[in-house]
Structure 1
């Protein structure tokens, strides 16, 4: 994935989050806090685990590749949102992580 592709994914992700903020304000009188976003992310991360277990036939639920795919995408979306809301450039964070990890494993 090129940086331009990731930039576009970030732009689209943040636009979607703004629409959810509008719905939250309409239904609850305020936008979710960063903490509520983090909790929602953790909930979805747990669902990735359950969906993987199901896919691997280690959890008694009908396997749904579509549901797993959706939750994986949603988790990436949440990470982009959380990075933005905490003032972290997700492109830079990912680049730093990859470089540091590559360097650690190079030796």
Structure 2
């Protein structure tokens, strides 16, 4: 496994329940600020094998990235996040100021 991939997998595994990270945020934390598309590939190809909490990765606008609103995986992602206590606004987006996890800050997470 390449170093970037290894770091990204570890970061994704460590996202606590009830929090999210963006594709770009994971890429930057793993050492490649422009590697958001690589994070997409990692999630697509390694989520099952490495038991990644893929549902905790969202786009930079706080939304679920699916081809359209009727996408079954998008509904599943939202359901999984809501089950962890993540709330969506009326615009269908997550408030990143409330739910974004930053692995560079103390890993002890306070309540929402």
Please report the TM-score for the alignment, with normalisation by the length of structure 1.
0.25
Larger C-alpha radius of gyration, 1 or 2?
Answer: 1
